[in-house]
Amino acid sequence: MKLRSTDFPRLQLSLLIALLMIAVGAAAVYAGIRFNQGGTIEKSAALAERNEFDSKLKRVRSEENEIKLKTSIFKALQAQGIIGNEQRLEWVELLKSVHESRQLIDLQYEIAPQRRLDADTGYGLAFFASTMKVQLKLLHEEDLTRFIGDLRRNAPALIRVRNCDVSRQMRDNAGKAYTAPLHAECNIDWITIHEASESK
C-alpha cells in the first residue's frame, strides 16, 4: 500500500495520539521506577531504625540484667555482714563457738586496728581489713584447717589467711609431754567493705 501526499493530513492525528500514548507510557514507567526506589529507600530506613531500636533494647536489657546481678551480689554480701561496719563482737562470739564445737585445747587471739586496703570498688566504697593474730594448740593439723573453714563459712567478713606457722612441741621446760603436740600461730585478715571516707 502506497501513501499519497493526501494521506498525511489524515495520519497526523493518529501519529499525535501515538506519540502522546508513548509519552504517557514512558512517564508511567519512570514514575513506577521512582516510586519503587522511594519504597526501597523507605524500607531500608525503616529496617535501619528497627535494628537501632532492637540494639538499644538489647543494651537496656543487658544493663538491667547486670544491675540485677550486682544488686543480688550486694544484698548477699550485706546479709553476710561483709558490707557495713565491722562486727567485732560477732567475730569474738564466732571464735568462742568454733573453739567449743571443735573442742580445741586452747585458743588465744588479738585483733589489730582496722586499716584501709588499696583496692577500691569504684562505687564510693572501699575495702578495710583488721588483722587477727590467732594462737592455737592442736592435736593434729586438721584442727587448724577445720577452724579456718568454720571461720570462712560463718564469719560476717571475708576471711583471708595471710600466714600460718605450725610447730611441734613434744616436751615443756619440765620435760613433761604437752597435751597438745602442735602449736599454730596465724595472721588472719577480716575484710569488710564500707564507705571509702570511713576509717573505723
- Determine the CATH number of domain 88-195: 3.30.70
Residues 192, 165, 137, 102, CA torsion sign: positive
pTM of the predicted model as reported, rounded to 2 decimal places = 0.61
For range 119-127, the mean pLDDT: 72
Please tell me which residue, 80 or 176, carries the higher pLDDT value: 80
In the structure, what pLDDT confidence band is assigned to residue 200 with cuts at 50, 70 and 90? Answer: very low
Helix residue spans in the chain (DSSP H):
8-80, 88-101, 141-154
Name the residue among 85, 83, 97 with its Cα closest to residue 154: 97
Residue 105, amino acid = I
Strand-pairing partners, residue 159, are: 190
Q: What is the per-residue burial (b if ≥16 Cβ within 10 Å, else e) of 69-81?
A: eeeeeeeeeeeeb
CA–CA distance, 155 with 151 (Å, rounded to integer): 5
Please tell me which residue, 105 or 4, carries the higher pLDDT value: 105
For range 8-22, the mean pLDDT: 71
**Could you report the per-residue pLDDT of 53-81, keeping only the tens digit for each?**
778 878 878 877 877 777 776 677 666 77
Report the share of the chain in percent with pLDDT over 90.
34
What is the domain partition of the chain in residue ranges? Answer: 48-80, 88-195
- Which one-letter DSSP state was computed for residue 113? P
CA–CA distance, 136 with 103 (Å, rounded to integer): 11
**Could you report the per-residue pLDDT of 138-161, keeping only the tens digit for each?**
888 899 999 999 999 999 999 999
